Chain A
Amino acid sequence: MSDNKKIKIVLAGNPNCGKSSLFNSLTGLKQKITNVPGTTIENKVGRFAIEDSFIDLIDTPGTYSFNPKSLDEKEAVKVFFEDPLPDAILYVADAANLKRNLFYFSQLAQHGIPMVLALTMLDIADFKGFEIDIDRLEKELGIRIYKVNARTGDGIAELKKALGQDQFAPHYAFGSKEDHTHESHFVSINKLLNKTTTLKSKRELVSNKIDAWATHPILGYLMFLVVLLVIFQSVFSLAAYPMDWIENGFSLLSEWLSAVLPDGWLKKLVINGLVAGVAGVVVFVPQIAILFFFMGLLEDTGYMARVSFIMDKMLRGLGLSGKSVVPLLSGAACAIPAIMSTRNIENWKDRLITIMVTPLMSCSARLPVYTLLISMAIPSDQYVGIVSVQALLMLGMYVLGTAAALVAAVVFKWIIRHDVPSYFIMELPVYHVPRWGNIWINMWQKSRSFVTEAGKVILVVSVVLWFLASYGPKTDQTFSIQESEKLVESYAGHFGKTLEPAILPIGFNWKIGISLITSFAAREVFVGTMSTIYSVGDEDNFEQIRDKMRKDTLANGKPVYSLGVVLSLMVFYAFAMQCMGTLAVVYKETKSWKWPVIQFVYMTSLAYLGSWITFNLFG
């Protein structure tokens, strides 16, 4: 054996088999996300040293078969043929559900790659009265089998050690030489299991008892509603603190930079373009991280599958499926990771419709816009009973977004042609006590992919928009007095004025036009632009911006921001596609510009139409 041998091992297994736990427990936090060339998939690679070898362990998405159905599964399979070819496959199988778990194994075994089998969930198998003769199974298959428990760490050290040594290719013949149908594989698996396992007793799992509640016709939905309320309450109230720290941190950074950097365009680019752009991305991380924490918790415990189960029938009529629940809910934080989470939807049409409508869910970037506008439209002391009208209007915006997403889904269902019927064949995994390690790592990785995926785009767009808002056709404006005048004279200002005839019918003047343009990087920039236009120094001071906006009057003396205009603006922000980051992700996930273009056009048209109706109703 040469010094520092490098070994490449691919981790494979069914969904819900405990693969992620094992991966995390083998590699700890030393994980790297790499892009498989030519695919959208990000593979997790973890490296660890054992004796004199380095092991690169590559995780793959959980898969039921070698004939992949969903995008996730298709990407999983590619890893086996990537250069350099893997030295071995570490196959993880749920001991309590061995028959189905061995099916994918039997398909992989045909390829002659050495394999090691790790058995998980032995406690559940034991509880079910399921006994496995490991020695016999090892002999039959011709490979090594290790019993592991990622939670307690049992068997992990032995498995690590084994991975550094030579593995064996399985010699058990699944199917026959001529016949490799699914059926023949299962016949072989049955024969194998008849020889090596016994069922001593049959006990009902607690899981089934929980399900009686979780899928109850009334209590089931009620429970889901409570879960949603808890999640959104936490997202907004818990995230407020770290968001404050981030904002304060960035304003300190800007102050420091403005003190140390020499005056000139570079200073402005750094502070108003780059730092402001980065701050605009990072400030959403707490909300997104908290939302992903909860989504991870619901998925890890197995509850999310039940939500899909009880929601499927309703969503099906709308061209979606039970599996659309996760993306739609995630869309309430940020459409970008939400769209990435559609990968496990097998049916292309279901997946496409989910992608197309998810950005209509009110994401967290819309929240500051709504907050400012609602405070303009409704006095804070107005109540219906004990509920504040402001809060009701905010809730109304979420309902409006969700309703629009569902209606749009129905329309797309009629428009998009696709012959393969949608199906919903899904495992309901056994309930688990949360595996916190998995949840933390999942949250960390998703938040990071938001920062890198969305961050890049938002940053570039921020810099471009900063340029458009800072420079104009007139070159002699360096000594311009007021920031607000500068903005008016800038390219963005000119665009705003050019845009005015088009947006007058929905009640918007050129000042709003400027904001519509600048908020194309991210919607919340609306608030910042308003504070610049109305020369408010501190953009966090909603009251000040609001008061200045209220005082703005038309030529005839009436206020610019009448109830009609404010509501029209809110509807516009609810529907319009003003997020470059989302468009970029849609392009990446659908591998075509067709869908982001359609999405941009339909959402903007919907926004225009919605605003026009609102403006004419209330204006």
Chain B
Amino acid sequence: MKLTELHIGKIGRIRSVADSPFKEKLQEMGCIPGSLIKPILKAPLGDPIAYELEEYTLSMRKNEAETIEIRPLDPIFAT
């Protein structure tokens, strides 16, 4: 599923990052297959969203988050 589909507070593991002009930037910031990611905070207008990525907080826009494929850690409660 896409990272944008993960609910606030739920943890996912990154599976892949799709090609895009900002793919490299996402990777440098630590969006690498295997990394744990958790949406924690929505900006007042619902976008961008802040994520806990391993050890720090990363914010990105929805269209950037959409390029990240994740697997929810707990499939039953993830959505």
CA–CA, A423 to B58, complex, Å? Answer: 13
Within 8 A of B (CB), among A412-471: 420-421, 423-430
Are A215 and B55 touching (Cβ within 8 A)? no
Does B50 belong to the interface (CB within 8 Å)? yes
Set of chain A residues within 8 Å of B56, measured between Cβ atoms: 96-97, 100, 427-430
Set of chain B residues within 8 Å of A183, measured between Cβ atoms: 27, 32-33
Contact segment of A62-70, A252-260, A605-613: A62-70
Set of chain B residues within 8 Å of A429, measured between Cβ atoms: 56-57
CA–CA, A313 to B43, complex, Å? Answer: 8
Residues A128 and B44 in contact in the complex (CB < 8 Å), given A423-B25, A424-B61, A425-B26: no
Are B24 and A182 touching (Cβ within 8 A)? yes
Within 8 A of B (CB), among A157-193: 182-183, 186, 190
Set of chain B residues within 8 Å of A64, measured between Cβ atoms: 25, 28-29
Are B64 and A100 touching (Cβ within 8 A)? no
CA–CA, A313 to B64, complex, Å? Answer: 13
Are B43 and A215 touching (Cβ within 8 A)? yes
Does A103 belong to the interface (CB within 8 Å)? yes
Does B21 belong to the interface (CB within 8 Å)? yes
Contact segment of A216-224, A401-409, A566-574: A216-224
Does B54 belong to the interface (CB within 8 Å)? yes
Are B64 and A423 touching (Cβ within 8 A)? yes
CA–CA, A424 to B59, complex, Å? Answer: 8
Q: How far is the CB of A186 from chain B (nearest CB, A)?
A: 4
Are B57 and A103 touching (Cβ within 8 A)? no
Within 8 A of A (CB), among B19-77: 21-22, 24-30, 32-35, 40-48, 50, 53-61, 64
Scoring A128, A216, A423 by chain B CB atoms within 10 A of each residue's CB, the highest score goes to: A423
Residues A309 and B32 in contact in the complex (CB < 8 Å), given A69-B25, A100-B54, A211-B50: no
Does A98 belong to the interface (CB within 8 Å)? yes
- Interface residues contributed by chain B, number (CB under 8 Å): 33
Are B28 and A182 touching (Cβ within 8 A)? yes
Q: How far is the CB of B21 from chain A (nearest CB, A)?
A: 5
Are B30 and A186 touching (Cβ within 8 A)? yes
Set of chain A residues within 8 Å of B46, measured between Cβ atoms: 313
Does A44 belong to the interface (CB within 8 Å)? no
Give the number of A-B contacts (CB < 8 Å): 117
Set of chain A residues within 8 Å of B28, measured between Cβ atoms: 64-65, 67, 103-104, 182
CA–CA, A208 to B52, complex, Å? Answer: 10
State the main secondary structure of chain A at its contact with B.
Answer: helix
Are B43 and A310 touching (Cβ within 8 A)? yes
Q: How far is the CB of A498 from chain B (nearest CB, A)?
A: 51
Task: Closest A residue to B25 by CB, please name it.
Answer: A425
Task: Closest A residue to B50 by CB, please name it.
Answer: A428
CA–CA, A65 to B45, complex, Å? Answer: 30
Scoring A310, A312, A425 by chain B CB atoms within 10 A of each residue's CB, the highest score goes to: A425
Residues A99 and B61 in contact in the complex (CB < 8 Å), given A64-B28, A425-B22: no
Set of chain A residues within 8 Å of B50, measured between Cβ atoms: 211, 215, 309, 428
Q: How far is the CB of A235 from chain B (nearest CB, A)?
A: 27
Are B44 and A217 touching (Cβ within 8 A)? yes
CA–CA, A220 to B45, complex, Å? Answer: 11
Does A33 belong to the interface (CB within 8 Å)? no
Does A314 belong to the interface (CB within 8 Å)? yes
Q: How far is the CB of B40 from chain A (nearest CB, A)?
A: 7
Q: How far is the CB of B51 from chain A (nearest CB, A)?
A: 9
CA–CA, A128 to B25, complex, Å? Answer: 26
CA–CA, A217 to B42, complex, Å? Answer: 9
CA–CA, A86 to B39, complex, Å? Answer: 41
Task: Closest A residue to B44 by CB, please name it.
Answer: A217
Does A130 belong to the interface (CB within 8 Å)? yes
CA–CA, A427 to B54, complex, Å? Answer: 12
Set of chain B residues within 8 Å of A100, measured between Cβ atoms: 29-30, 53-56
CA–CA, A420 to B21, complex, Å? Answer: 7
Within 8 A of B (CB), among A309-325: 309-310, 312-314, 316, 322
Are A215 and B25 touching (Cβ within 8 A)? no
Are B30 and A128 touching (Cβ within 8 A)? no
CA–CA, A423 to B59, complex, Å? Answer: 11
CA–CA, A309 to B49, complex, Å? Answer: 8
Within 8 A of B (CB), among A68-108: 69, 96-100, 103-104
What are 17 of the A-B contact pairs (CB < 8 Å)? A64-B25, A64-B29, A99-B30, A128-B55, A183-B32, A309-B43, A313-B43, A313-B45, A421-B22, A424-B60, A425-B29, A425-B59, A425-B60, A426-B58, A428-B56, A428-B57, A429-B56
Q: Which 4 A-B pairs have the closest CB atoms?
A: A217-B44, A182-B27, A428-B57, A65-B28
Q: A312-B61, A428-B57 are in contact. List 20 more A-B contacts (CB 8 A).
A: A64-B28, A100-B55, A103-B28, A182-B28, A182-B32, A183-B33, A186-B34, A212-B41, A215-B44, A216-B44, A309-B50, A312-B48, A313-B48, A314-B45, A420-B21, A421-B22, A424-B48, A425-B59, A428-B59, A430-B57
